[in-house]
Amino acid sequence: MADPLLSVRDLRTFFYTENGVARSVDGVSFDISAGETVGLVGESGCGKSVTALSLMRLIRPPGRIEPGSQIKFDGLDIAALDEKSMREIRGARLAMVFQEPMTALNPVFTVGDQIAEVVRVHHAGSKKEAWDRAVKMLETVGIPSPAQRANEYPHQLSGGMRQRVVIAMALIMNPALVIADEPTTALDVTIQAQILELLRDLQQKFGTSILLITHDLGVVAETASRVIVMYGGEIVEEAPVSDLFARAHHPYTEGLLNAMPQVGHERERLETIPGSVPPPTKWPQGCRFHDRCPYAWDRCATEHPPLYQIGGGHVSRCHLAVEPERRAQKHEPMVVA
């Protein structure tokens, strides 16, 4: 097998605040291969956005990527790369799509200008060439009358269209990896579907790898081939997508799946996971999920579980992997009792 495009080992990103050290990303390791779509799932506060920003090296003080973290992108270790070289990579080989299309674009420049800027900043074309490419890109992302639209300002476009523009900006230099941080959360459901379809098409067309970050498992089911679940600043489960939905192992993943409304499964009430996400300044001892877990026992409160192999590319950070019989002893989680 060829070397993975992206190889993250032991990524730690801490924020040094007056309330203490927030260990937002606390030892995350994963790979992404060329052409793959990987989903990164978790609630807010689990560290998925910080992971994305760390990959892009967009972490500003008081946060920093801790020494010892390794991010190998296309053979280059970008965790410790100098800023100038990193700038050459950003936008050209590694790009990001952000969550809020309404505020992601500069209000005083035309959309065409902003897309063309990516080309010009990377010295990949003259002003005219960059503009032409921008217009073509607008067409590729499905915006009608692209030449006209390119001269318009962000406030003249709808949310869905703005997100397409943001995607155009990310893809115009044909990056090897695109990180999409909740690209559809701020959009209407119908637009959501369109944007996801666009991403799928573009991936097929350009062969880009996508790291899709979301809290919505439904989105992941449609688009990703592999899923990573994060909780408490760590990866708690990783599996091929069908495996995750059919045979979720970690109780947190189970909880997420149970909380999803599913067509065809009528239920009186949606099950929520009791308790709330702990603050990154104070991760619980032992397993970070143990106080909200319906299966936890004394081992879970003291012994921090490693990522156990479940088989077939499926890993889970849960002691149930070695004591599966405990799954029968379901009870009220600690936070409730």
Partner 1 sequence: MRRRLAARLGQSIVVTFIVATISFFAIRAAPGDPFSYSAKPLSQSLREQLRRESGYDRPMAEQYLRYLRKIARGDLGYSFNKGEYVTTALAQALPRTLLLAGIALVLSFVIGIALGVTQATRAGWFDRMTSTVILIFYSVPDFWGAMIMLTIFASWWRLFPPGDIVTPVMHDYMPAWKAFADRVWHLILPVASLTLLSLAGIARYQRAAMLDVLPSDFIRTARAKGVSERGLVWRHAFRNALTPMVTILGLTLPAFLGGLVFIERVFTWPGIGSLAAEAIEGRDYDLVTGTVIVGAILVVFGNLLADLLHAAIDPRVRE
Interacting residue ranges for partner 1, rule: CB under 8 A = 56, 58, 87-92, 95-96, 98, 100, 103-109, 117-118, 121-122, 153, 155, 166, 169
Q: How far is the CB of 97 from partner 1 (least distance, A)?
A: 9
For 77, the 3-state DSSP assignment is strand
267 Cβ neighbours under 8 A, 6+ residues apart: none
Fill in the amino acid letter for 201: D
CA distance 42 to 228: 9
Q: How far is the CB of 183 from partner 1 (least distance, A)?
A: 13
Residues facing residue 235 across a β-bridge: 230
Nearer to partner 1, 124 or 147 (CB): 124
Q: Which residue has the tokens 């070397």?
A: 3
CA distance 254 to 260: 10
Nearer to partner 1, 116 or 315 (CB): 116
Tokens of residue 28, six digits: 């995350």
Q: How far is the CB of 321 from partner 1 (least distance, A)?
A: 38
Instruction: Read off the DSSP letter of residue 183.
Output: T
Q: How far is the CB of 99 from partner 1 (least distance, A)?
A: 9
Closest CA to 292 of 321, 324, 328, 254: 254
Cα atoms in the 13 Å half-sphere on the side-chain side of 98 = 13
Closest CA to 210 of 223, 219, 197: 223
Nearer to partner 1, 143 or 227 (CB): 143
Q: How far is the CB of 253 from partner 1 (least distance, A)?
A: 30
Q: How far is the CB of 249 from partner 1 (least distance, A)?
A: 34
Nearer to partner 1, 176 or 315 (CB): 176
Tokens of residue 327, six digits: 């799954």
Nearer to partner 1, 32 or 320 (CB): 32
Nearer to partner 1, 43 or 100 (CB): 100
